[in-house]
Each structure stands twice: as structure tokens, then as C-alpha cells.
């Protein structure tokens, strides 16, 4: 990574902190947008009110959440295998500069239906992420272990507590935007797939495109 890119990364937390602080001085909550750009080589830059260049992965920090429906009634817990944490939610992946177009729909507009449901899920530590199910896999929240004398430095092994994310359905207004982001994300991952993962990422991209192109979103 170049010196310029390193400097940008080093100041990124300060930039984000300053923008958030500005929100409490009376500014409009939507007045500032911070773009996080990742190029094909993995170099990351932060930009204020300037979208990322074409071909770069674009993420944006904004105030407010996608509108959601009321939280569903809790279902009986079903024990499942623990899973790792979702991608960090400090930034939300949004549609970046388009460099290609999706296939044309083969379904008449009058016959199109809304895209499949998506759910905004919140983790035990208040990260948010999008899921295609309202009952995602449970995750294991790490616990601190201590020695017999209470010293955390003498703790033996590792421990965790099973937690379930709380998920609420996106409203129809937010659903199209969310699905477009998911298609863009899959396109980026397919384009820069590491060796051995090309077929899997291409299949995931094609699955998301198929779920989106023939809907009322287009």
C-alpha cells in the first residue's frame, strides 16, 4: 500500500469522529456522506461527499437506518451450530458507479412481483446486517475467562454464550435499494474472486440477479 493510502487509513477514524460530532451541532442529519473506497488492490481511501471512482468497492457512512417493520414476535429458540460474526457494520455497502447493466427483464411489468423479503438483523453487540431470513444462524458471543483468583490474565481456554440476532423485515420502500446493493456487492466479489472461488462467486451473483431483474423494482 502506498504512503498516501496509509495516511488516509490512519486518519479515517478521526474523520469519521469529526463528522459524527458535527451532527450534534444542529446540522441536517443527511448533510454529510462519507465514502469508503476499496480499489482492486485492496487500498482503502475515505472521501467526503465524493462517490468512489468506477471499479472501486463503495461503502458509505450515514445517519439513520433503513425503515423496518415492527419487530416480529420471538420464535422458540432452535439450537444451531455457532457461526462467525458478520462483516463489520460501521459502513453500509451502497451502489457505486455502475460500469455495466443488468439483463433485461423477460416479464411484463404488469406481471412483476416485489423482490424476495430481506431482514435487517442486529447482533448482540449492536452491529447490523442484511439477511434473507428472519431466523439466521445463532452466533457465539465471547466471554472473558478468569483464574481461580479472579485474574483475567490467568483464564484457561475460551468460552462463549449463544446469542440470536434480532431481525425485522425491510419495508417495500427500502427493499429495492437493498436488493440492488446486494447485486452490486456480489458483482464486486465475483470480479475480484481469489483463485478457487470464481465459480462459487459467479453462481451467487447470478442467483441474486435472477431474484432481482424480474421484479417491480425495475
34-40: average pLDDT: 82
User: Per-residue pLDDT tens for 150-204?
Assistant: 565 555 556 788 888 999 999 988 999 999 989 988 999 998 899 999 999 999 9
User: Per-residue pLDDT tens for 61-103?
Assistant: 764 455 556 655 555 544 454 454 454 444 555 555 555 578 8
Sheet containing 44-48: order of strands: 44-48, 34-38, 57-61, 92-93
Q: Closest by alpha carbon to 140, among 80, 192, 99, 55?
A: 80
pLDDT band at residue 145 using 50, 70 and 90 as cut-offs: low
CA distances from residue 204 to 42, 114, 200, 212 in whole angstroms, order as listed: 22, 20, 6, 13
User: What is the Cα 195 distance to its own chain's centre?
Assistant: 24
Domain map of the chain by residue range?
Answer: 1-64, 106-135+166-218
Query: What is the predicted pLDDT for the residue at 54?
Result: 78
Record the pTM. 0.51
Reduce the secondary structure of 5-66 to three states and give it as a string.
HHHHHHHHHHHHHHHHHHHHHCCCCCCCCEEEEECCCCCEEEEECCCCCCCCEEEEECCCCC
Amino acid at each position: 500500500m502506498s504512503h498516501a493510502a496509509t495516511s488516509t487509513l490512519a486518519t479515517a477514524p478521526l474523520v469519521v469522529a469529526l463528522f459524527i460530532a458535527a451532527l450534534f451541532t444542529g446540522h441536517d442529519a443527511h448533510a454529510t456522506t462519507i465514502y469508503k473506497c476499496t480499489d482492486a488492490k485492496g487500498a482503502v481511501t475515505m472521501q467526503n461527499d465524493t462517490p468512489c471512482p468506477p471499479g472501486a468497492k463503495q461503502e458509505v457512512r450515514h445517519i439513520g437506518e433503513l425503515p423496518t417493520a415492527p419487530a416480529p414476535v420471538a420464535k422458540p429458540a432452535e439450537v444451531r451450530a455457532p457461526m462467525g460474526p458478520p462483516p463489520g457494520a460501521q459502513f453500509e455497502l451502497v451502489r457505486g458507479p455502475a460500469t455495466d447493466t443488468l439483463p433485461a427483464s423477460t416479464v411484463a411489468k404488469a406481471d412483476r412481483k416485489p423482490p424476495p423479503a430481506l431482514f435487517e438483523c442486529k447482533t448482540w453487540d449492536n452491529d447490523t446486517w442484511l439477511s434473507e431470513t428472519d431466523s439466521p444462524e445463532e452466533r457465539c458471543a465471547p466471554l472473558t475467562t478468569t483464574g481461580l483468583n479472579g485474574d483475567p490474565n490467568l483464564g484457561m481456554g475460551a468460552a462463549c454464550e449463544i446469542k440470536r440476532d434480532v431481525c425485522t423485515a425491510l419495508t417495500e420502500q427500502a427493499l429495492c435499494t437493498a436488493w440492488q446493493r446486494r447485486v452490486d456487492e456480489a458483482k464486486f466479489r465475483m470480479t475480484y474472486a481469489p483463485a478457487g472461488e470464481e465459480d462459487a462467486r459467479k453462481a451467487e451473483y447470478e442467483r441474486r440477479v435472477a431474484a432481482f431483474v424480474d421484479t417491480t423494482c425495475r
